[in-house]
Structures are given as structure tokens and as C-alpha cells.
Amino acid sequence: MSEVRNPVEPFLRMDRMPHIWCPGCGIGTTVNCFTRALIESKVDLDHVTIVSGIGCTGRVAGYVKLDSFHTTHGRAIPFATGLKLANPKLNVIVYSGDGDLSAIGGNHLIHAARRNIDLKIVCVNNLIYAMTGGQTAPTTPNDAVTSTAPYGSYEPAFNLPHLVEAAGAVYVARWTTYHVRQLARSMQEAFAKKGFSFIEVLSPCPTLYQRRNKLGDGLETMKYYKEKSKVRNGAPTSEVGLTMQGEIIVGKFVDRDRPDYRELMRHRLAETLGDRYVECEELVCS
Amino acid sequence: MHADPRGVLTGVHFLDGDHACCEGALTAGARFASGYPITPSTEVVERFAARVPTLGGIFIQMEDELAASIALQGAVWGGAKAFTVTSGPGFSLMMEHIGYAAMTETPCVFVNVQRGGPSTGLPTLPAQADMMQARWGSHGDYGIIALCPNSPQECFDLTIQAFNFAEQFRVPVMLMMDEVVGHMTEKVVIPPAEQIEIFPRRHTSKPPADYLPYETNGDMVPEMAHAGEGYKFHITGLTHDERGYPVMTVPAQDKLVRRLQQKIERAADEIALYEEEKVDDAEVVVVSYGITSRVAQRAIELARAQGRRVGKFRLITAWPFPEHRIRQLAQRTKAFVVPELNLGQMVREVERLAGGLSRVLPVSHAGGGVHRPEDILQAILEAAS
Amino acid sequence: MRGKWGIMAKGAVKIVVERCKACGFCVEFCPTKVLALSSAFNSKGYHPPHVVATEKCSGCDLCGMYCPDFAIFGYRQPQPQATPNKETADAR
């Protein structure tokens, strides 16, 4: 029979394989879901751009065969903001980790949500800084041991869906790497949604989080996700905070409409400037 | 190519340096700016925010300078010409993204209306103490270009020049204004658009299949593609090869970092703009830039009135430094006098290039005001003796 | 590809042995338990999966969705007895 190909391969820079991710890491799994969502969405891939920050998840941009930008630590969202404003035809996806997006990039996260910039954020949350060796992140649950919290973490952690909903996101969902079909569907929904969309994906970091906390390997973590996840679409985000090895509320929490930044800008400037307002679809210089 | 006439306010105007800088940016084709308020630079983007919606462009006020300095680079890769404007504390926050622009070869302009530092320093008063930061502020080795206007007219002219150099060399260009030049109001002549040369983006003409984002030709500057054009390219701040892929090896680092520096250094004679007057038979040459050059002018006139042969050398480009010319002058002049609104920054370059052949006298000033012409005069007289 | 009882399996998997890091996701989450980790090693020292129940594969590609190393995927086999559907065959 004719040669069949892994459906993910046309979306990857195969000349860069194998990737750097550890055995049992879930980032590659999220990439599978991302590519399935792209296939299902039937979007024009020439107009899909992916922007990453720094960290393990930040490497996704380098592996995906799209226009792709591996930016500075925490700054994927403001870079993506400039890109999207300059060319509104682009479908701009920000693909990065929890530390990158919510610690060093936390200010940008809330402000982009507030402005309702039309960006799709995929936040792979492994509860730790993985690339640098397993340090405490704003998402690290209480009691978890990290390389910088050797006696256990005592800082309260961010509940990311609650944070971005409060800041103004129009679409908020959480899944784990166990929920591959739901995650792919969520990504597809986010691609079609106008405005600031945020998908949190819990993912194992067996090398640094699970191992140091004696929680087994990647597979053990996937089994934990399967056992302890509860799908509650529409759950109030104030109730979806994570605890160490506790129940994980997953689902689509927020799906609402409000005008995005460009629409607000267009409306205000057209109203006040009248005929003097010159709207430009693309800021292409010669 | 010529400037797009829609952005050009041809005519004779009475503008301060900040506003003239904004007109320069619009004339150069900038249709995107991301900024964060900071004295004494904010007037540039305030004017831009008022003007650009009538020209099909966008201004966005970001949440901090880190955001402002990377949003503009996103806009550049989306196809725009873009810039940001700041002053000392904001410039410090932008350093990481000056490095990102240098590494990814993103053509863009950073305007710094300098004020007294360090830290919050003197928000409303001038200094020229960010000159070394402009050159070396981000970590690692790289080349940049920095220009120093000394009048509102030059704020207009050199902003256009900054965009042109940015596009020609695919490098971040710093426009190093100072508070006095930024807030001083003078006549500014804006010529007709067809008299203004604009360097177009080095957009590749290759089809996607043949395109490598960092392949270079003879002049060491690669061609660009924009997101959304089907090239499916990769851009990273990591050390990368011609494909744009990360490569963590000594040869890759050596090849890339040397090119980033050499693409500017080898063109230094073309980029290093300066103005000189009566330097050929001068016993003393005064080297200055920005607002200080106008105070120095008075000191030079006073010295000449006393019969001294004093030459004037004004840096228009601070970086790359006009090394060849200063070396030549060092062969025949007795001394250089270098006044600047800092405790001795550009004077180090003059000392290095004078190489002991001629004396070098700094005239330092901690900032907050300008020199007294007499202090510069005294240094000239001491140098001539 | 005929199974134990001569029934045509609905699907099949393809495995790129050298890309596998033996996380075991595909084996654990295969809904019809088609796979097991092999006792053989690949060149990096991992035990890649192999097919232990060919006839059970539905070609659902859940293994492909899970595999973080892009080392396995499932696909549906053309069914000779069914009316050939050119569109889906080409889509592969």
C-alpha cells in the first residue's frame, strides 16, 4: 500500500528531530493536539504564526513548520501583540510555559487579556521551571519540593484560569495531556474565537517535578490525570485552583464575547476622527 | 525610493526636537510605535498617537518598556516600520530587546531622549550619559548604530537617517537625543517627499523553497521575509545558522557574532557621519555632540577671538565611532578637547584613537544643565599651551 | 493484514523505533490494547512499543495523539468489502 505518514509530520521541521524534550514529557503530546486542531480548523497555514517565549515549551516554535518566533523570556505576548496589530490577517498563537507566561511575563498576560488582543495562548503548565533545572514557579503547588524550595513550597500558587478570566479573556479552558481529544477541540474553538483566548494544559515534567516529589514518571502522572480529573464545563474559575496531587477540574470555563482591541480602536477612532481616520488592514512597508 | 508623501508635512515649521523626531519617523514610513510614558521623551509618541490614525497606522501604549521594546519588533516582522521612544530608566529596561533586535537582525529604531542618571536621576534635565549604554548595554557582542542630533532640524533629519540605516543594515539604531534638544523649539524645514530618500526593506525576492532567513551576500546583511507570506521561517534569539535554526557550537557562534559586529564595522566610514570645521591646521580640535556641540561652538569662537587655531569636530554618528578620521587628526593636532554631559564616555574613544600622539582633555559635567562656554574655553587654552 | 481469525483489522499503526523514548503512553492508553513495550532496545537504549494484537487495531490514532516523540501513529485500513471511498483514501 502507499506510504502513509504521521499526520503530525507535515507540521514539523523534521530536519530538527529528535526534539530536546525528556522521556515522559507532555509537551510533544500538546503539539500533536495543536496540529490536529490546525488540520480540523482548515486554516490557511501561511497565515498561522506561532510565538514562544523561553523554556521547554518555548522550544515549540522551533519545531513547528510555520512562521515562528522564539522570543525573549516572558515577552512572547507583547511580541505577538505587535505582530497581530501589524497584520490582522495572521492567526497568532502564543505557545509557552507557565513560568514564562505567568511569572516574568505575568504583566503582559493580564494586559493583553485586558485589551482583548486577538491572540490564542497555549500555556503548558508543568508546575515548575523545567529548562533551568526545576525551580519554583508561580504555579508550583504548596508542599511541592523544588530545587529552590528544598523544604517544600509555601508560596500560594496562581490559579491561571481565574487570573485570566478576571483580566478579561474571552475563552478560558483547562485540560491535561491525558485529554488529547478535548484539548485539540478546545484549540480549534480558540482558533475560531475572536479575542484573547487562554488554554492551560497540565503536563508532566517527570525529570524535575515528579521525580523530585516522588510522584513517579510521566506515565504515572498521566494515570493521575486520568483518575483525578473532573470535567466541569462552565465551572466558576475561582473554584479550579490546583493542589498537589488533588482533584483537577478541567473543561471549558469561559466562552464569552466582547469587542477585541482592533474593533475598539476602529470604533473610537472612526467616531472621533470621522473621514480623517485611515484604517489600514496591513502595515506593510515597501 | 522616495518618502510616501502622505506622511510628509512639507513646509517650514516651528517645532521642538521631540515633535520633529515624530515627523521624521512618519516621513520615514513608520506606521507603528509602541511606547511607555517617560519624561522627557513622551511628546514624541503623544504626537504620533494623534497623527498616525490619519495615516493608516497604529500607536499602542504598552504596560512597560520591556513590552514596548518587543511589540515594535513583532510589528516589524509583520511588515511594518516601527520604533519606540524612551529615556534613561526605560532605556535600561529595553536593553534585552536591543540585544534581541541585534541578534535577530530586526530593523528598528530606539529613540532615547537622555536625562540625568543613574536611576531616576533628573527626569526633566539633560545629560549625555547613556552613550556607552547605547553601544554596550545589552549582553554579548554585537554592532549597533547611534546618532546624535543637536537641533530640532536634526531630530527630524536623523530620525529618517536612523530608519534608513536600520533597514540598510538590519540593525537596531539608537537616536540619542538629550532633554535640551528634545524640548528646544526651532525652525524645522520639511522638504517635499520626492526630495527625501528612503531605504526600502531588504525583502527577499526568492521563493519560499529557496529562502534561508540568514543567508548573506557580499555585504553581510541577510534578506527579510514577513510573517504570513508563506515562507514559514524561524527566528530565534539563540545562536542560529543560516536556516535560523538554533546551533549551540563554537563555529556557529563565531560565524554569527562576528558577522553581527562586522556588518557595521566594515561600513563604518559610510555610517560614521560627522561635521568638521577648520580642523586641517588646528592646534586643538574640540570633539563634541548633541547639545554640547552648541555650547562648544561658543567656546571655539571665544578661543579663535584670542587667536587660537581651534578646529571643531562634531559627531553626528556616535557609533560606529569615526575611528579613521580621529586617527588622522591625531597625527597633526596637538590636543583634543572633549566636553560631554557625563563624567567621560566618548572621550575614551578619542583617547584610544589618539594613541598618545596628541593630548586628550575631557571636560566633564554630571548633567542637569549644560557646560559654561568658559569651562570649555579654559580647556582649549590649556590644551593649546 | 489479516488477524488471528482471518478478520481484516480496521486499522494499523506505524512505529518509528528510533524516535521512541519508551514513555509508555501509547501502550497504556490504546483503547483496544494493541501494543506492548518490546524487550528489544533501540539505539538510544529505550524499549519501543510493538504490536501484540494486530487484529484489534481500529486505526483510531489515539497512540499518535499521545506520543510526545512523534514516534507512532495509527491509521485506518482500506476495507476491501466496503464500497471504496476515494475521498477518504486520498485524504491519507
pLDDT digits (tens, 9 = 90+) for A137-192: 999 999 999 999 999 999 999 999 999 999 999 999 999 999 999 999 999 999 99
Contact C23/A24, CB-based, under 8 Å? yes
Domain covering B275-384 assigned CATH 3.40.50.920 in the classification: yes
In terms of phi and psi (left: phi > 0; alpha: psi -120 to 50; beta: otherwise), the region of A61 is alpha
Mean predicted confidence (pLDDT) in B22-27: 98
Which amino acid belongs to residue B254? Answer: D
Give the three cell numbers for residue A43. Answer: 486554516
% of chain B residues with pLDDT over 70: 100
What's the gap in Å between the CA of C26 and the closest CA on chain A? 10
What digits encode the pLDDT tens for the residues B116-140? Answer: 999 999 999 999 999 999 999 999 9
**CA B76 – CA B83 distance, rounded (Å):** 9
What CATH number should be reported for the domain holding residue A216? 3.40.50.970
Residue B201: which of A67, A89, A285 has the nearest Cβ? Answer: A285
Listing from the earlier edge strand, what are the strands of the sheet with A171-176?
A229-231, A248-255, A171-176, A197-202, A120-125, A91-97, A48-52, A67-70, B234-236
- Estimate to the nearest angstrom the gap between the alpha carbon of B352 and the chain centroid: 21
In angstroms, the Cα distances linking C46 to A29, C10, C27 are 19, 29, 14
**CA C50 – CA A186 distance, rounded (Å):** 31
Give the three cell numbers for residue A117. Answer: 488582543
Peptide bond into B320 cis (omega under 30): yes
**CA B251 – CA B288 distance, rounded (Å):** 40
Mean predicted confidence (pLDDT) in B53-70: 98
Name the nearest CA neighbour of B56 among B35, B32, B24, B91: B32
Subunits with 3+ Cβ pairs within 8 Å of A are: B, C
Could you state, in order of their start, the residue ranges of all structural domains in chain B?
5-195, 275-384
Q: Which letter, b or e, does each residue of C55-75 get, where b requires 16 or more Cβ atoms within 10 Å of its Cβ?
A: bbbbbbbbbbbbbbbbbbbbb
Mean predicted confidence (pLDDT) in B87-108: 98
Instruction: Name B109's bridge partners.
Output: B83, B173
Interchain CB contacts (distance < 8 Å): A and C? 77
Say if residues A144 and A137 touch (Cβ distance below 8 Å).
Answer: no
% of chain B residues with pLDDT over 90: 99
**A269 and chain B in contact, CB less than 8 A:** yes
In terms of phi and psi (left: phi > 0; alpha: psi -120 to 50; beta: otherwise), the region of B100 is alpha
Structure confidence at residue C81 (pLDDT) = 59
What's the gap in Å between the CA of A86 and the closest CA on chain B? 5
**CA A278 – CA B252 distance, rounded (Å):** 45
Say if residues A102 and A109 touch (Cβ distance below 8 Å).
Answer: yes
Residues 38-57 of A with CB under 8 A from B: 45-47, 49, 51
Residue with cell 494623534: B50
Structure confidence at residue B78 (pLDDT) = 98
Q: Which letter, b or e, does each residue of B6-44 get, where b requires 16 or more Cβ atoms within 10 Å of its Cβ?
A: ebbebeebebbbbbbbbbbbbbbbbbbbbbbebbbbbbb
pLDDT at residue C82 tops 80: no
- B and C touch with 3+ CB pairs <8 Å, answer no
Helices (H), chain A: 27-41, 60-63, 76-86, 98-99, 106-115, 160-167, 180-192, 218-228, 261-273
Q: What is the pLDDT along chain A (286 residues), one digit of tens a residue?
A: 458 899 999 999 999 999 999 999 999 999 999 999 999 999 999 999 999 999 999 999 999 999 999 999 999 999 999 999 999 999 999 999 999 999 999 999 999 999 999 999 999 999 999 999 999 999 999 999 999 999 999 999 999 999 999 999 999 999 999 999 999 999 999 999 999 999 999 999 999 999 999 999 999 999 999 999 999 999 999 999 999 999 999 999 999 999 999 999 999 999 999 999 998 878 877 5
Subunits with 3+ Cβ pairs within 8 Å of B are: A
In angstroms, the Cα distances linking B311 to A3, A26, A251, B317, B326 are 78, 68, 75, 18, 12
Which helix (H) or strand (E) element contains residue B297?
A: helix B290-305
Chain A residues contacting C, CB < 8 Å?
A: 1-2, 4, 6-9, 12, 17-19, 21-29, 31-33, 36, 177-178, 180-181, 184, 217-219, 222-223
Structure confidence at residue B2 (pLDDT) = 96
What's the gap in Å between the CA of B235 and the closest CA on chain A? 5
Residue A82 lies in a domain: yes
Could you state, in order of their start, the residue ranges of all structural domains in chain C?
11-91
Contact A181/C75, CB-based, under 8 Å? no
**ipTM, 2 decimals?**
0.97
Residues of A in contact with B29 (CB under 8 A): 285-286
Give the three cell numbers for residue B220. Answer: 553581510
What digits encode the pLDDT tens for the residues B155-164? Answer: 999 999 999 9
Residues of A in contact with C66 (CB under 8 A): 29, 32, 177, 180
Say if residues B285 and B311 touch (Cβ distance below 8 Å).
Answer: yes
Q: For the structural domain made of B5-195, what CATH number should be given?
A: 3.40.50.970
Contact B74/A61, CB-based, under 8 Å? no
Residue C87 pLDDT level (bands cut at 50, 70, 90):
very low
Say if residues A240 and A161 touch (Cβ distance below 8 Å).
Answer: yes
Residues 169-228 of B with CB under 8 A from A: 200-201, 226-228
Choosing among A14, A47, A67, which should be mutated to test the B contact, i.e. which has the most B CBs within 10 A?
A: A67
Say if residues B338 and B350 touch (Cβ distance below 8 Å).
Answer: yes
Mean predicted confidence (pLDDT) in C10-33: 97
Q: What long-range pairs does A131-134 form, CB within 8 A, spacing at least 24? A: A131/A54, A131/A55, A131/A56, A131/A58, A132/A55, A133/A208, A134/A205, A134/A207, A134/A208, A134/A209, A134/A212
What's the gap in Å between the CA of B50 and the closest CA on chain A? 10
Choosing among C25, C29, C43, which should be mutated to test the A contact, i.e. which has the most A CBs within 10 A?
A: C25
**CA C22 – CA C71 distance, rounded (Å):** 10
The total number of structural domains in chain A stands at 1
Mean predicted confidence (pLDDT) in B186-196: 98
Structure confidence at residue B382 (pLDDT) = 97
Structure confidence at residue A283 (pLDDT) = 82
Q: For the structural domain made of C11-91, what CATH number should be given?
A: 3.30.70.20
Contact A280/B245, CB-based, under 8 Å? no
Residues of C in contact with A27 (CB under 8 A): 68
Peptide bond into A206 cis (omega under 30): no
What's the gap in Å between the CA of C36 and the closest CA on chain A? 14
Taking the CA atoms of A168, A171, A177 and A178 in sequence, report the sign of the dihedral they define: positive
Residue C73: which of A7, A29, A181 has the nearest Cβ? Answer: A7
At B114, give phi and psi (nearest 5°).
Answer: -75, 140
Name the nearest CA neighbour of A153 among A161, A164, A141: A141
Structural domain including A77 reads 9-258
Say if residues A264 and A272 touch (Cβ distance below 8 Å).
Answer: no
